[in-house]
Structure 1
Amino acid sequence: MPKQPRAVFDTIFAFPPNRETLGGTAYFIVKKNANLLIDCPAWDETTQQFLEERGGVRWLSITHRTAIARAKEIQQCFDCEIVVQEQEAYLLPGLEVTTFHRELALDPDFEAIWTPGHSPGSACLYAGVAGGVLFTGRHLVPDRDGNPVPLRTSKTFHWPRQLRSVALLRDRFSPQTLTAICPGANTGYLRGQRAIDRAYDRLCAIDLEAAAQAQAML
């Protein structure tokens, strides 16, 4: 039997890793008349029923190209608005999409932020709920100690640009506006924790100079 999504916070849920997105973790935020799905969970009856019981999906925000999966089926089911950074919109042919360049406010609590590097159109989604939560896709993922890090791989689009994107996030937020990070991959390294806490302090602790010298992690 498929696993149910688990609560991260009162109104935020994490889906089980999805094989179609290379083990990516999708999230769902429940908000009256404005439910937001971040990346694509496994698309099956369990997922569809879970979303329907909570009012459906208003927006589907894509954080990077690997997270697209069944976006077409989700849009057809819920008639939701797909939000994607403009450089990756071509990967959704035939679908109605809302694109953005640097930033896009979906409503007073939700904002998409372009963070290029992992892929050309990599983006984070900031939610001004629960003290401020940043959904980072594969832009920042937990290391073995559960700390957020940019991860360089053989498929990284532009490593220096990814590190600059990390610096921009660090400069954008504060301890008052960012308390948690919900990564879109490597969530097993959280070891039972449902999000990365002390998010702003941990973001500031990333050694970008050392990362710039790091070799590819394959």
Structure 2
Amino acid sequence: MGNAIREKTIHGIAASSGIAIAKAYRLETPDLAAEKRAVADVEAEVARFEAAVAKAKEELEAIKQHALEKLGEDKAAIFAAHLLVLDDPELLNPIKEKIQTERVNAEYALDETASFFISMFEAMDNEYMKERAADIRDVTKRVLAHLLGVTISNPSLISEEVVIIAEDLTPSDTAQLNRQYVKGFATDIGGRTSPS
């Protein structure tokens, strides 16, 4: 018997008109659950956090450069904003302080501190601050992935015509999508007015 093609129908709300026919590309979100653990060597844990931030910066610099060359300045600006978040002492210092004073692991300190800022910014009646919340969420996922040793999908590497299937698309995900190859997308989260 030959290879069977798996067929599945997915229903959703149309956010724009038109039909796209292409291979499905599942953009998976890794498990980034941050469990609380006690740590004995807090300085080593702070250093582990700083190393994860440095790796995330390297990654974002490369993605920003790729976006600038392939997708234009407006898309690259998203990653420039993310790099600013990773240089912001008002976010980074409380994470380091939490590791040191509560003697907890970097993942937990990062997740708790970022969640506080995200909730605060999202509650504001200010579109700019809501965008900063999205930036912090995006950057937090990237640093968490490095701390947890998991890989985040890189949609900029797509090199054939696809329809993206994902639970959600972050601003950095959409900024990396090459419209030459990505013919459409379907997400679990969002509606007609979600940004694309």
TM-score, normalization by structure 2: 0.27
Structure richer in strand, relative to its length: 1
Larger helix proportion, structure 1 or 2? 2
State the TM-score, normalized to the length of structure 1.
0.25
